[in-house]
Structure 1
Amino acid sequence: MHLITDTRPGCDPLGVLRAALAAARSADATPDLVVQVRVEDDMTDRDAYELTARAVAECAANQVGCLVNDRLHVALATGAAGAHVGALDLPVDAARRVLGPAAILGATARDPATGRAAVAAGATYLGVGPCYATGTKTGLPDPIGPAGLAAVAAAVDVPVIAIAGVTVDRVPELLAAGAHGVAVVGAIAAAADPGRATAELLAALRRRPATQTGASR
Structure 2
Amino acid sequence: MSTLSLPLHLMPLLMHIEPLLIPAELYQLGETVTVTVNNSEPLIHIKTMTKECSLAFNFVAADEHCASPTYQIWDQWLAPFSELAELQQKVAADPSLVLCGFPASDGCIDIWHHQGQARAVSCHHSGASEAQRAMLLVALALDYPLEDALVLARAHARSYQDHNQHAQGELIWPSKAKVFPRALTVNHPQIKQIGWLTDSQAVAPFAALDASQLDLYALVDSSDWIERVLQFGVNSAQLRINNPQVSDLENQIQSAVAAGESASAQVFINDYWSLAIKYHAYGVHLGQDDLDSAHLAAIQQAGLRLGISTHGYYEILRALEYQPSYITLGHIFTTSTNAMSSLPQGVSRLALYQKLIGDRVPTVAIGGITIERAAKVRRTGVTGVAVVSAITQAVDPAIAITELRNIVVPNF
TM-score, structure 1 normalization: 0.81
Question: Does the alignment pair 1:4 with 2:206?
Answer: no
Q: 1:139 aligns with which of 340, 354, 358?
A: 340
Gaps of 5+ in 2: 1-215
- Indicate the structure with greater strand content: 2
Aligned twin of 1:177? 380
**1:138-171 per-position Cα deviation (integer Å, ceiling 9, x unaligned):** 2342100111211221122211100010112211
Aligned twin of 2:242? 40
Report the alpha carbon displacement of residue 195 of structure 1 after superposing the two structures with TM.
Answer: 1.6
RMSD of aligned alpha carbons: 2.0
Question: Does the alignment pair 1:96 with 2:296?
Answer: yes
Partner Cα separation in structure 2 for residue 173 and residue 163 of structure 1: 13
**1:20-70 per-position Cα deviation (integer Å, ceiling 9, x unaligned):** 22221xxxxx5xx211111023434x6221101111111211110111111
For 2:232, the aligned partner's letter is A
**1:116-153 per-position Cα deviation (integer Å, ceiling 9, x unaligned):** 22111232211110000111112342100111211221
Q: Report 1:1-217 matches (<5 A).
A: 1-6=216-221, 13-24=222-233, 33-44=235-246, 47-91=248-292, 95-101=295-301, 102-156=303-357, 157-207=360-410
Report the alpha carbon displacement of residue 85 of structure 1 after superposing the two structures with TM.
Answer: 0.7
Report the alpha carbon displacement of residue 207 of structure 1 after superposing the two structures with TM.
Answer: 4.5
Contact 1:85 1:108 in 2 (8 A): yes
Gaps of 5+ in 1: 7-12, 25-29, 209-217
Partner Cα separation in structure 1 for residue 295 and residue 383 of structure 2: 23
Between the two proteins, the alignment pairs up a number of residues equal to 193
Partner Cα separation in structure 2 for residue 58 and residue 137 of structure 1: 24
Partner Cα separation in structure 2 for residue 193 and residue 19 of structure 1: 12
- Indicate the structure with greater helix content: 1
Contact 1:115 1:155 in 2 (8 A): no
Higher RCO by CA contacts (8 Å cutoff, separation 6 or greater) = 1
Counting aligned pairs with the same residue, the percent is: 26
Aligned twin of 2:109? none
